Structure 1
Amino acid sequence: MIDEGQGVQDWLAISIPRQQLWLCRGAKQIAVWPVSTAVAGTGERQGSGATPRGWHRIRAMIGASLPKGTVFVGRRPTGEIYRPELAAREPERDWILSRILWLTGTETGRNRGGAVDTLRRFIYIHGTPETEPMGEPRSHGCIRMRSEDVVALFDRCHPGMPVLLEDGD
């Protein structure tokens, strides 16, 4: 349970083996969504394409009040809204859609600092096209969610919120 002396706190738990994200209040799970983590598995090294493990916090929240399907490049909206026609023109594009929850590691030497820094690796929880499967590893390191789900999650999060990425059950 997360309790930093200020009462029960909301936090996120991401199970990499189960490919699920839970919104928790203290020890209680209050919502669950399917996700897709890295096809390269788990790991913290820069350039690995893997999903980092351990304790993190939400560093920044990007996309509040933008339309569902907003396309981001470099954490900035491009002015595009994702559509199948756009995807057909750019089939190799790694789509970051709707909302971004940018993570920062809290464990120095594991996921913070040097060649293992989650923030510098640009690891996000973000939306992805509805055509992308959930519940199986497919990302380049980030945690992908359906756009509808990431919008619902975003509205229940705040900067500094704890996030645990775990690779055990």
Structure 2
Amino acid sequence: MDDWISISLPEQRLVIHQRNRPIQSWSVSTAAAGAGERNGSGGTPRGWHRVRAMIGATAPTGSVFVARRPTGEIHSATLAAAHPERDWILTRILWLCGDEPGLNRGGAVDSQRRFIYIHGTPDTEPMGVPRSHGCIRLHSADMIALFNACRPGMPVWIGAPD
């Protein structure tokens, strides 16, 4: 495995590796509920995953997505104030699927069926602090840089650093 992504839950940090060397890292926000694989847990699932789908390659920065589809909206303070209940998914989406049956794949622990993403979030959201509903959030500029360095099927490790 030469190219892969690691996400440290304790450090709230995502690192992209190419040729087995870390090339870039970003502060992220994972689940407020901590780690958790079960459906309904609100936790960020651990273990090996892969990028199942890359969504939004040509979308403008700040594009709002609902159910993995652009709504045509661009996030702004006015839009956020009008919809304070929304969990904003912005700019790009990397949809993850688990690679470990019984841990993050299949049954009540299936990351793909839980719609676990790496996705953009408003720049007003703090990074380095667990606040999501299970996904991994990055600010839009960081999400675009990550998206451009990824490919479908790319391995993703989520957990504590080795």
Question: What is the alpha-carbon distance in structure 1 between the residues aligned to residue 161 and residue 60 of structure 2?
Answer: 35
Q: Does 1:20 align with 2:8?
A: no
Q: Give 1:106's aligned residue.
A: 99
Please state if 1:73 is matched with 2:76: no
SS in 1 for 2:104: coil
- Could you state the TM-score of these two structures normalised by the residue count of structure 1? 0.94
Trace 1:2-151 onto structure 2 (pairs within 5 A): 2=1, 9-151=2-144
Give ranges in structure 1 of 5+ residues lacking alignment.
Answer: 3-8
Structure 2, unmatched stretches of 5+, are: none
Alpha-carbon distance between aligned partners in 2 of 1:47 and 1:71, rounded to the nearest angstrom:
24
Q: Supply the distance in 2 between the matched residues of 1:98 and 1:145 (Cα, whole angstroms).
A: 10
* Residue 154, structure 1, aligned to residue 147, structure 2: yes
**How many residues are aligned here?**
162
Contact in 2 for aligned 1:42/1:167 (Cα 8 Å): no
Instruction: List, as ranges, runs of 4+ consecutive aligned residues in structure 1 with deviation greater than 4 Å.
Output: none
SS at 2:70 equivalent: strand
- Tell me, in whole angstroms, the C-alpha distance in 2 between the residues paired with 1:127 and 1:78: 15
Seq. identity, %: 65
The whole-number CA distance in structure 2 between the counterparts of 1:111 and 1:160 is: 16
Paired AA for residue 77 in structure 1: P
Partner SS, residue 38 of structure 2: coil
Q: What's the RMSD between the two structures over aligned residues?
A: 0.9
Distance 1:56 1:126 in 2: 15
Is the Cα–Cα contact under 8 Å of residues 3 and 20 in structure 2 kept in the other structure? Answer: no
